[in-house]
Amino acid sequence: MEGAGKTTQMQRIQVWLQGLMDTPVIITREPGGTLLGQELRHLLLEYHGEEPIQDRAELFMYAADRAQHVEGFLKPLLDQGNMILCDRYTDSTIAYQGYGRGLDLSLINQLNQIATNSLESDLTLWLDVDVELGLARTRTRGKIDRIEQANLEFHQRVQQGFKLLAQANPDRIIPINGMLNIDQVTENIKLILSQKLRKWGCLI
């Protein structure tokens, strides 16, 4: 969710994880994890043209960013044995373009499948914050992007989307209270990751 603290936490967690294991831990994000993705990110977030970006066009732009990211970045790095922390992935499309914009969920699931070539995340941490608090945090940056400009109801539908996704996928999606202070959120994420990494045999 907007202003939930993802960027802040990912940087901290990368440093912590890298200290625990030999495997390289790489940070990336969607949109914008590749050179093409950076151009798409700029269009998606900063476009101020006279005609609005249509919802389905927006959906396909996120899908194009993801297809490029998966094929050109994520898969090659995973094949080499790296660990990836990705700021947003397929669930964001379901929450924003599905629940937020109201586009057909089965179409989005199909498109996610095509864009990822079935590459799923092993674990998704959902940082949940009160919608207005999160938006207020992003506003302290002084610049509001095209998606953040959508109305409050849109962001509330997005939150509801993430909530339903978490309920439907309890093994993969773990909700984290993003309203605690930054250090407490980091500690909670470390706890969950330690348990998972031990279960996966990545930590002794």
Binding site for ligand T5A (CB under 6 A): 2-8, 29-31, 45, 62, 87-88, 92-93, 96-97, 137-138, 140, 147, 178, 181-182, 185
Residue whose CB is nearest to ligand T5A in the complex, by number = 5
Smallest separation, CB 41 to ligand T5A (Å): 7
Count CA atoms within 13 Å of residue 76 on its CB side: 6
Smallest separation, CB 153 to ligand T5A (Å): 15
Closer Cβ to ligand T5A, 17 or 103, answer by number = 103
Smallest separation, CB 203 to ligand T5A (Å): 25
Closer Cβ to ligand T5A, 137 or 202, answer by number = 137
Residue 88 phi, psi dihedral angles, 5° rounding = 80, 145
Q: Are 178 and 127 in contact (CB under 8 A)?
A: yes
DSSP 43-80: HHHH---SSPPPHHHHHHHHHHHHHHHIIIIIHHHHHT
Q: Are 65 and 36 in contact (CB under 8 A)?
A: yes
- Any idea which residue has 């509330």 for tokens? 156
Smallest separation, CB 177 to ligand T5A (Å): 9
Closer Cβ to ligand T5A, 121 or 138, answer by number = 138
